[in-house]
Amino acid sequence: MTERAANTSERHFPTGLPPRIQHYIGGQLVDSIDGSTFDVLDPVSNETYVQAAAGKKADIDAAVEVATRAFQEGLWPRMLPRERSRILHRVADIVESRDARLAELESFDSGLPIAQALGQARRAAENFRFFADLIVAQTDDTYKVPGRQINYVNRSPIGVAGLITPWNTPFMLESWKLGPALAAGNTVVLKPAEFTPLSASLWGEVFEEAGLPNGVFNLVNGLGDDAGDALVKHPGVPLISFTGESSTGQLIFGNAAPFLKGLSMELGGKSPAVVFADADIDAAIDATIFGVFSLNGERCTAGSRILVERPIYDEFVERFAAQAERVRVGYPDNPSTEVGALVHPEHYDKVMRYIEIGKTEARLVAGGRRAEGFETGNFVMPTVFADVKPDARIFQEEIFGPVVAITPFDDDIEALELANGVRYGLAAYIWTNDLKRAHNFSQSVEAGMVWLNSNNVRDLRTPFGGVKASGLGHEGGYRSLDFYTQQQAVHITLGKVHNPTFGKSSAEQR
């Protein structure tokens, strides 16, 4: 079923949009040094609604210079954790108090359903709150060698952190990097995704109101090849935290190598949801529908491959397809919309190409076309392919849209081979009521994160990250603070100096 939003028959325009989107450097909104801009489209009409400043190397240089000064001379890295924490809690308060506005802008710019964009705005506030709490709870190790030595960890911020983020849930993903990078006392240069720069333009004001010193937070908009590339190659930026496609991650690895930078890579996924015959099928169907169609399917941890044990396969496919057909596709600003518009026409074309490929590779059981009643914009019906072979492109490649591949299996060994038979390893969802199988399977599946009989419910203290082509390094909880800090080991002798003497005089040797 597709449905037109009842309250909007026209293209929805939020009021009070900025006349243009600028960079934010040293507490000032500024245009690009060479004056260049790029078009920003809204995904319902695919018309340009604003121009954004297109940052180049010179703009990145300017931002890094300001951030370096704020790091070397400013208060922020030298504040007590409690003082930084207070400011970050104020950031969380402000974000929370503006959640409706944030969701409106995010939904308009990215095509995410408004109800889900609201959830992401609150998650962004929670990310700040979490790291504000963590930084005051941070303890560091001290090691005692009785009577001889004490060795302790001296933790300190590293410098200017370069943060590069994608267009899916942009504001929330920016907060996931900004929170720990700032909590740890670094200064930052953020390069948001060029498809969705609108919500990021709110950060400057939020930080100013919260009392973050000028120059600590800086933002440069622009294309990946220009602004992103310049940030990666800037010798004054020792850290890059990147979230995006695996192929972009590979390129950034290479480009950062000559500078020996610290890298955190959150990359693509093609995560399996494995449903055994003994599972609670009602719960598994609800969870797997949500797991692949929420956030328009533009979700790194989407369960985009569903592996189903043969005895329940036909029933599962039939019920899943029927429910997928009922998922409400609608205008992003309609509160009842479940799948909105894909972010950009280029991405829409990519997803539609995969749907056409899928039709040649497998059995289409739901969707497979543009949503009816939407002549313009990037509206795709939730699409379900069954009997998908493991060598099919729609099984192997990340589509990043509302498209799912369902494949049968006969036993645990085959299920594991199928689950692990792709280059990615971000998340896995396992549905079974057999305790031993649940744990054995979880521990064998090649995935950075596993949810057992559960949807993707995050606990911010746990490690977040992928294996294989899905990433390198783990963030989450103290791991994020580890990435954004330097840990120096300081060793102190307490007793007699442990010091073998080379070059002893002959008198000493006797």
* Neighbouring C-alpha atoms within 13 Å toward the C-beta of 117: 32
Three-state DSSP string of 428-485? EEEECCCHHHHHHHHHHCCCCEEEECCCCCCCCCCCECCEECCEECCECCHHHHHHCE
Which of 67, 88, 160, 164 binds ligand NAD (CB under 6 A)? It is 164
Number of residues that bind ligand NAD (CB under 6 A): 31
Q: Which stretch binds ligand NAD (CB under 6 A): 48-56, 127-135, 219-227, 435-443?
A: 219-227
Contact range with ligand NAD by CB under 6 A, out of 205-213, 245-253, 438-446, 489-497: 245-253
Residue with Cβ nearer ligand NAD (244 or 382)? 244
Q: Are 190 and 171 in contact (CB under 8 A)?
A: no
Range in contact with ligand NAD (rule: CB under 6 A) among 44-52, 89-97, 221-229, 280-288? 221-229
Q: What stretches of 37-143 show up as alpha helix (H) in DSSP?
A: 57-73, 81-97, 99-110, 114-137
Minimum distance between the CB of residue 376 and ligand NAD, rounded to whole angstroms? Answer: 22
Site for ligand NAD in 426-465 (CB under 6 A): 426
Show the tokens assigned to 44: 């319902």
Q: How far is the CB of 431 from ligand NAD (least distance, A)?
A: 22
| Alpha helices in 159-275, H assignment, sequence order | 170-183, 203-210, 229-232, 246-256
| Shortest distance (Å) from residue 474 CB to ligand NAD | 11
Active site residue 106: no
Closest CA relative to residue 339, chosen from 350, 328, 348: 328
150 vs 223, which CB is nearer to ligand NAD? 223
How far is the CA of 493 from the CAs of 142, 146, 154, 321, in angstroms?
14, 11, 16, 69
Count CA atoms closer than 13 A to 257's CA, side-chain side: 6
The SS3 of residue 279 is: coil
- Angle at which helix 170-183 crosses helix 81-97, to 10 degrees, equals 160
- 76 scored as a contact of ligand NAD (CB under 6 A): no
Q: How far is CA 122 from CA 95, 102, 227, in A?
A: 8, 10, 29
Out of 22, 68, 120, 168, the residue judged to bind ligand NAD by CB under 6 A: 168
Compute the least distance from the CB of residue 42 to ligand NAD, in Å.
Answer: 17
CA–CA distance, 162 with 475 (Å, rounded to integer): 15
Contacting ligand NAD (CB under 6 A), which of 25, 182, 206, 252?
A: 252
Minimum CB–partner distance for residue 226 and ligand NAD (Å): 9
Q: CB 447 → ligand NAD: shortest distance, Å?
A: 12
Q: Which residue is nearest to ligand NAD (CB)?
A: 224
What SS3 state is found at 418? Answer: helix
At which residue do the structure tokens 């309609």 appear?
A: 334
Least distance from C-beta 375 to ligand NAD, angstroms?
26
Q: Check residue 340 for interaction with ligand NAD (CB under 6 A).
A: no
Using CB under 6 A as the binding rule, whether residue 244 contacts ligand NAD is answered as yes
Nearest approach, Cβ of residue 338 and ligand NAD (Å): 20
Is 22 among the residues that bind ligand NAD (CB under 6 A)? Answer: no
Return the DSSP state at 362: S
Supply φ then ψ for residue 431, to 5 degrees: -120, 110
Site string for ligand NAD, 173-202 (x = CB under 6 A): x-----------------x-xx--------
| Cα-only R_g, the chain | 25
Span of 98-106, 160-168, 197-205, 352-360 interacting with ligand NAD by CB under 6 A: 160-168
> In Å, what is the CA distance from 220 to each residue of 121, 163, 197, 485?
21, 10, 10, 23
**Whole-angstrom distance, CA of residue 479 vs CA of residue 475:** 5
User: Minimal distance in Å, beta carbon 261 to ligand NAD?
Assistant: 12
- Using the minimum distance from each CB to ligand NAD, give the nearer residue, 168 or 334: 168
Q: Is 269 in the site for ligand NAD (CB under 6 A)?
A: yes
Residues 12, 44: Cα–Cα separation, whole Å? 8
Stretch that binds ligand NAD, among 33-41, 199-207, 220-228, 281-289 (CB under 6 A): 220-228
Q: Which of 104, 298, 300, 338 is catalytic?
A: 300
Q: Which is nearer to ligand NAD, 274 or 449 (CB)?
A: 449
Applying the rule CB under 6 A, the residues between 358 and 417 that interact with ligand NAD are 398, 400
Contact pick of 229, 333, 338, 446 for ligand NAD (by CB under 6 A): 229
303 binds ligand NAD (CB under 6 A): no
Q: For residues 449 and 179, what is the distance between their CA atoms, to the nearest angstrom?
A: 21
Of 278 and 397, CB closest to ligand NAD? 397
361 is catalytic: no
The contact set with ligand NAD (CB under 6 A) reads 164-168, 173, 191, 193-194, 223-225, 228-229, 232, 243-245, 248, 251-252, 266-269, 300, 398, 400, 426, 466, 471
Residues designated as active site: 266, 300
